[in-house]
Amino acid sequence: MARPPPLSPHLEIYKLPLTAVLSFSHRLTGVMLVLGLMMIALVLLLAVGWPQGFTSVQQGLISAPGQILFWLFIYALFFHLCHGVRHLLWDSLQGFEAHRQLNIGVFQIGVSIFLTFITYTFGQPDMAP
């Protein structure tokens, strides 16, 4: 009686380590930053060349989905910055131990959320009349 062939492992079986998730997230936030900067350039071009278009884009940015996209962009900026600092630590040959990688990864996520929160708290324009 022949044994059944072995099953190939698939991605649902593996639990990616935090460093792999952060590496993928770093690349994803890099793409988000490029797209966000292209959007900022488009808004600036509209502001210079077509005031009506700028007004409509401005209304879109003030809306709830626009605000969510804006704050996701800010978080992506801080996450990318914190991950860059992590790479600077690695370039100085620090933080390669397994327990330090986990601690630095969690710290990186916490700092990027904290910086986004601080920017949200103190970076809002005063809307009082």
CA–CA distance, 126 with 116 (Å, rounded to integer):
18
Give the integer Cα–Cα distance in Å for 20 and 118.
27
- The hierarchical CATH code for the domain 21-120 is 1.20.1300.10
Q: What type of residue is 78? A: F
**What percent of the chain has pLDDT above 70?**
89
Q: Is 100 helix (H, G, I), strand (E, B) or coil?
A: helix
Report pLDDT digits (tens) over 1-46: 777 776 666 666 778 888 889 999 999 999 999 999 998 898 888 8
Cα–Cα dist 69/40, whole Å: 12
Closest CA to 105 of 85, 91, 76, 120: 85
Can you give the pTM of this predicted structure?
0.80
Q: CA–CA distance from 90 to each of 22, 60, 87, 93, 97 (Å)?
A: 14, 41, 5, 5, 11
Domain ranges in the chain are 21-120
Token pair for 81: 């910055």
